[in-house]
A and B are shown apart, each in its own frame.
Chain A
């Protein structure tokens, strides 16, 4: 590659242009996977059929309409939001902790959300009638969301002193908090009856099956708002890679970047986990794959992670909906079965470049 300064000859082609190309293909991938996903399902109803009906002026059969508009479409919307949230949150966490293995669990979200969900499942019956009817079937989701926020807040307070957040303290305190949550969850699991235990297990394995327009309307704006802050954090996270002192020297407001990152991750992951339970691997595998392909620059990493995460989750959802149709495989199982081997393969291939 030639280097020239200002003589009008070609500039260096570096990773940025490749990242832009990748972004184009990822957009195309997402569109393709989305269309495919709308057309696939246990009921055999096809998108092509519905579209051709519309085009020829016929109205779509009611069952078809319900399957497409009330089952598959909200599920697609939810899958895009959740997949993007999990992937971007992973990338943000890795940038904040300056470690490619960091994931949103490190700020205590998973521990708190899990505890919230378990508490709602096991103790929900004991709530006063008014509260129970208010929350309705959303009790578990709301409890998980609140649980995630509360635990992150606790961690943030513990790790922040004199206006400065220590990510190292956050990591260690997070381990302690996860242990505490685990113990509390254990007590609740002990109290649970057979049915509740099964509900817990299924929640832990994740699912997009409960996606309704109501849930999408409640959760998606939170996820999207959180994701919208990501581009503003990109330069800051790049700078943090050089260390907090240097990041400050180049004009980055380090504390603000840390606080906003934690806020964005808590919002995005909290909402995602609340509506879809425990889905793993997207937050680690997606950013890692992208860093290998186009580099760690967060300006391109974050939007590409959103696109790839969304596509992967929708693909996983398609598999979970069709593999053992008419029954459904919990999506967390699919992402683990796909994600773990891919992750191992990456690690084995790239041993030289992965250095903690």
Chain B
């Protein structure tokens, strides 16, 4: 029932420029959008992607129109898309305006940090592609997986929940951690863990005391963090980190950024992987 309601609202919210016939040339902006398009079987229609779209591997061969928040208007037009599906936050606004003005259908997809959000994404994209039935099927399967993961997470008694600290970067001793309302916290919750830090939103630098107080059991990081990929030894010997239970057991886990935080079709799997690392095997 909730699924149907979501579907209806999504259809209603789609921009009037939604395509009537199936678009042949697709441009996707945002890693999870690209993944979902592939999962719906429409991968061959892709003619371009953005820098954050890295999965599945074959999309890397597609032309890259740039970082999603700094798109080149002519670059977008140069791949001659019929439809652009973009994650929230794509920009700059002037580039989006030009795309719309050129008569190219533009469908924004809302951001997600939980199960309901992922379902919305899938349905929105499905509607834009005119592929509602496939989308419903995918959504249902993803939903089922996620619910199963959530159930496992709920089954863990609160006192046994592991504390996880997500470290975005370690720049010269300054640790950037994920707080509330982040994809990091979302995935930690899904895996049945607890965000070791609270009291702030977004990704912020932490003081040494806050790190010690956080006392994480596991430190989670992205496998490819661009300019700030610290050596793991560096991190574990950081004076504050060294005091944590995670450092004592060497519990530092790296996962691919898009896989872990993309909130797309593979999220259930990612949450399961993380849960396995937290609680071991079949818990």
- Residues on A close to B: CB < 8 A? 41-44, 62-63, 66-67, 70-72, 136-137, 190, 193-195, 198-199, 202, 207, 209-212, 215, 321, 325-328, 330
Task: List the B side residues contacting A72 at CB < 8 Å.
Answer: 74
> A325 near B69 (CB under 8 angstroms)?
no
User: CB within 8 A of B69: which of A41, A62, A202, A212?
Assistant: A202
- Residues on B close to A: CB < 8 A? 48, 51, 63-67, 69-80, 89, 92-95, 97-98, 101-103, 168, 201-205
How far is B92's CA from A330's CA once the two chains are assembled, in angstroms? 13
The listed residue with most A CB atoms (<10 A of its CB), out of B75, B79, B92, B95, is B75
> A41 near B78 (CB under 8 angstroms)?
yes
User: CB within 8 A of A328: which of B66, B201, B204?
Assistant: B66
> A327 near B92 (CB under 8 angstroms)?
no
- Complex: chain A residue closest to B181, CB-CB: A193
> A328 near B70 (CB under 8 angstroms)?
yes
How far is B202's CA from A190's CA once the two chains are assembled, in angstroms? 12
Task: List the A side residues contacting B69 at CB < 8 Å.
Answer: 195, 198-199, 202
> A209 near B92 (CB under 8 angstroms)?
yes
> A71 near B64 (CB under 8 angstroms)?
no
> B89 near A209 (CB under 8 angstroms)?
no
> A71 near B63 (CB under 8 angstroms)?
no
> B102 near A326 (CB under 8 angstroms)?
no
With A193-B203, A328-B66: A71-B78 Cβ-Cβ less than 8 Å: no
> B75 near A63 (CB under 8 angstroms)?
no
Task: List the A side residues contacting B76 at CB < 8 Å.
Answer: 326
- Complex: chain A residue closest to B93, CB-CB: A137
Task: List the B side residues contacting A44 at CB < 8 Å.
Answer: 78
> B98 near A70 (CB under 8 angstroms)?
yes
With A66-B101, A326-B66, A327-B66: A209-B73 Cβ-Cβ less than 8 Å: yes
User: CB within 8 A of A198: which of B67, B75, B77, B102?
Assistant: B67
> A212 near B94 (CB under 8 angstroms)?
yes
Task: A210-B95, A327-B64 given; name 6 further pairs at CB < 8 Å.
Answer: A42-B78, A66-B101, A202-B70, A209-B71, A326-B63, A326-B75
User: CB within 8 A of B77: which of A66, A193, A215, A330?
Assistant: A66
- Complex: chain B residue closest to A140, CB-CB: B92
> A42 near B72 (CB under 8 angstroms)?
yes
> A321 near B74 (CB under 8 angstroms)?
yes
Main DSSP-derived SS at the B contact region: mixed
How far is B66's CA from A43's CA once the two chains are assembled, in angstroms? 14
- Complex: chain B residue closest to A207, CB-CB: B70
With A43-B77, A44-B78, A67-B77: A327-B103 Cβ-Cβ less than 8 Å: no
How far is B98's CA from A215's CA once the two chains are assembled, in angstroms? 14
Nearest 6 CB-CB pairings of A with B: A326-B75, A327-B66, A328-B72, A193-B202, A43-B78, A42-B78
- Complex: chain A residue closest to B79, CB-CB: A326
- Complex: chain A residue closest to B73, CB-CB: A71
Task: List the B side residues contacting A327 at CB < 8 Å.
Answer: 51, 64-67, 72, 75
- Complex: chain B residue closest to A199, CB-CB: B69
User: CB within 8 A of A326: which of B48, B201, B205?
Assistant: B48
User: CB within 8 A of B78: which of A195, A212, A325?
Assistant: A325
> A41 near B74 (CB under 8 angstroms)?
yes
Task: List the A side residues contacting B51 at CB < 8 Å.
Answer: 327
How far is B179's CA from A193's CA once the two chains are assembled, in angstroms? 11
Task: List the B side residues contacting A212 at CB < 8 Å.
Answer: 94, 97-98
How far is B51's CA from A239's CA once the two chains are assembled, in angstroms? 54
- Complex: chain A residue closest to B169, CB-CB: A194
Q: How far is the CB of B168 from chain A (nearest CB, A)?
A: 7
Task: List the B side residues contacting A63 at CB < 8 Å.
Answer: 77, 80, 102
Task: List the A side residues contacting B94 at CB < 8 Å.
Answer: 137, 209-212, 215
The listed residue with most A CB atoms (<10 A of its CB), out of B70, B73, B168, B204, is B73
Task: List the A side residues contacting B204 at CB < 8 Å.
Answer: 190, 193
How far is B168's CA from A66's CA once the two chains are assembled, in angstroms? 40
Task: List the A side residues contacting B97 at CB < 8 Å.
Answer: 212
How far is B65's CA from A215's CA once the two chains are assembled, in angstroms? 23
How far is B100's CA from A70's CA once the two chains are assembled, in angstroms? 12
